Structure 1
Amino acid sequence: MEDDLLAYTDRFRTTLETTHRKISAAVLRQLNTDLTRPQLFLVFMIAKEGMPKQTHLAEKMGVKPSAITVMIDRLVQSGHVVRKHHETDRRIVLVEVTDTGKAIIKLTEDVQRDIIARGLSQLTPEDRHVLVSAFEQFNSFY
């Protein structure tokens, strides 16, 4: 039984990682943007966090503050985010997504939805239901 579980674990992990990479690559190709995958991820993270401190972003991404500064510099130059100083403590630098950043997030979500729908459409309605239901149940364990 343990060997069987180990085999399923390896198959699941490999398939999940490969599928994620393939979908991400397809989304980036279709977006036709100069943003890299990590830059796009950072724009999404900034939007999710609201108006986070740069230090908070560095901690969440597990990188040094100097690395996050370089990444944010590029996003500022491309117009996807802006830096703002905290209202009461000017030493604190906050980052906010611009309208350009919000537009790329919306476009990315739309493209990703279409790509996933294309894959799901290749399954029978029953297989789609089984796949999504099982994945939702698996997700609930964490």
Structure 2
Amino acid sequence: MKNLVVIMMISLAFAGAVNAANLSPVKNTAGYVTLKDSIIRKRIFMAEFPARNVSSVDVREITFKPKQKTGRHLHPIPVMGYIVSGTVLFEAEGQSARVLHAGDAFYEPANTPIAHFDNQSDTEPLKFVAYYLLNGEKELIKMLPEKSGK
């Protein structure tokens, strides 16, 4: 039950503020949910993760300077996020690298090394919102040594 509540809270955070008077769905087609008064909820991302109790969600707005890189890292907890502005090279180890743009969402599974989370612009900052799904943990990120031979 806790997980369902947390997932609902995260979904609402991604979709924006909810007007309590407009919660009854009118139409549901192709990933869109239209509510009274033409409020539209479009799914932009869906991530499944192993069963986990979540006691709190730490939401952070993070800004990178042009060409700034995170460095190889992992999170001991699942992290979901949303690109507000800019372009990022995102690569979880073992997966293909992909470029994310404003409006795209991402998921970093717990304890999965992230090879790249790098601002791709030479001139523009990158801004994103990260949702850390916590169950009493205090550490949000652990930096890892760079792999040799790259």
Q: TM-score range by the shorter chain?
A: under 0.3
TM-score by length of 2: 0.25
Higher relative contact order (CA 8 A, sep 6+): 2
TM-score by length of 1: 0.26
